[in-house]
Amino acid sequence: MHELAVCQAMLEQVAGIAAREQASEVTRIIVRIGPLSGVVPELLEQAFTIARSGTIANQAELITEATGIRVRCSQCGAETDAGITRMICGKCGDYRTQLLSGDELLLASVELNRAEQAVE
Amino acid sequence: MCDTCGCNVTQGNRHLIEAGGKHEHTHDGKVAVEVLENLLSENDHQAGHNRQHFGNHGVLAVNLMSSPGSGKTSLLEATIDALNQEFRIAVIVGDLETENDAERIRSKGISAVQITTGTACHLDAHMVHSALHQLNLDDLDIVFVENVGNLVCPASFDLGQHLNVTLLSVTEGDDKPAKYPVIFRAADAILISKSDLLPYLDDFKPERAEQAIRHLASEAPVLNLSARNSSTLDNWLTWLRKAFTIQDARRAAGETTKPKIQPEGEKLHAHG
């Protein structure tokens, strides 16, 4: 439901990066989204087609990458894959686990053309 | 999560950016700038500012999240009645429309700022910052933020609070934590509200709700209470008093806390 707001925040960051890198255009944006982030990749992609209009990322492609959920058990020490509603230790079944990955919401990479490169 | 120290790179995703990884190279002479910034960094920046503002004034900020109608405002009314002599309390209320909830709080003689979000499904740090301009934090000990009733979006936005509390009313079903895991995982305490209705609801078992919460790897306390029965509020009031004492000690030591950061995360976020 809030993916458009997230997308606008992302594009503001991308615009800042593009300005810092003296880019003439942004061609590709890669974001990394964990299942526990509260953001739905498909909805973010839909929002992106609307939100990119009139920005330096107007022609950009958005790639969303899903990360998996991994937990470390604070009792037996095992690191195992987990599910969104089953985050207990995959080995001993204890619920006292720490999240290793799965809640990421990251702007991982921005691909751009630099103005001076276009001249060269 | 953190924008600056690199801890967003986890063991689960590190291979993607290491040598030979999927994102090490780009194509056609284009420049790939690895950023690893949090998409919500503007919000998080403002949230950090809000948290500092609360901290500087010795105020504990608690964010209440739940479905619409699970009893957040009733809980606040009962809490204010119980603690009014002990703490100076104010409330920031988020709803899509109306001043109704703020008026209920104000009728207790308490400052309440209503944020009407229009169509937005959650509060964000900028909205809370605007509301803070209408409160004198020097005169306060605890600020409750009553988030928009919604079990999805509020969990994704840091407001600058110290602690999250998620309510689950017994009329909603004991599998809500399994259905809406993100918001229950984000909670520092979970309140099973309207417990006075349990005798009439044979399909809600508090122990099943707690089991679903533990399956989310949450160690948060699960407290049963009813805002209509003040004798059930003791555990909640004790939790709140303790939270205030802990925050006060943290502040004295020049530290602060974010909601629900697991012990390892806390180490990584020592600067935050």
* Mean model confidence pLDDT for chain B: 88
- A106 vs B contacts (CB less than 8 Å): 1, 8, 36-39
- Report pLDDT digits (tens) over B216-227: 999 999 999 999
**Hey, are the CB atoms on A85 and B214 less than 8 Å from each other?**
no
Contacts of B21 (CB under 8 A, 6+ apart): B15
Give the span between the Cα atoms of A8 and A32, in whole angstroms.
Answer: 16
CB contact at 8 A, B27 and A111: no
Of B189 and B265, the structure prediction assigns the larger pLDDT to B189
Q: What is the H or E stretch that residue B142 is in? A: strand B142-146
| Secondary element (H or E) of residue A23 | strand A23-33
pLDDT value of residue B37: 86
What is the pLDDT at residue B18? 55
- The pLDDT value recorded for residue B239 is 98
- How many CB atoms within 10 Å of residue B82? 16
Question: Over pLDDT 70: what percentage of chain A?
Answer: 94
Is the pLDDT reported for residue B91 higher than 80? yes
Shortest distance, CA B1 to any CA of chain A (angstroms): 8
pLDDT score, position B24: 46
Determine whether the interchain pair A117/B34 forms a contact, defined as Cβ–Cβ distance below 8 Å.
no
Are A112 and B33 an interchain contact pair (Cβ–Cβ within 8 Å)? yes
Q: Per-residue pLDDT tens for A68-91?
A: 999 999 999 999 999 998 999 999
Residue B23, pLDDT above cutoff 90: no
Residue of B nearest to A68 (CA): B12
Residues from chain A that touch B11, judged by Cβ atoms under 8 A, are 70, 79, 100-101
Least confident of B12-16, B32-36, B81-85, B191-195: B12-16
**Cβ partners under 8 Å of residue B90, min gap 6:** B110, B111, B112, B113, B135, B140, B142, B143, B144
Question: Where does the pLDDT of residue A114 fall: very low under 50, low under 70, confident under 90, or very high at 90 and above?
Answer: confident
User: Tens digits of per-residue pLDDT, B38-89?
Assistant: 888 888 999 999 999 999 999 999 999 999 999 999 999 999 999 999 999 9
Collect all residues of chain B within an 8 Å Cβ-Cβ radius of residue A70: 10-12
pLDDT exceeds cutoff 60 at B100: yes
Kindly report, residue by residue over B191-250, the tens digit of the pLDDT: 999 999 999 999 999 999 999 999 999 999 999 999 999 999 999 999 999 999 999 999
Specify the pTM.
0.84
Which of B13, B24, B222 is the best residue to mutate to test the A interface, defined by the most A CB atoms within 10 Å of its own CB?
Answer: B13
Residue-wise pLDDT for A24-44, tens only, equals 999 999 999 999 998 999 999
State yes or no: ipTM above 0.85.
no
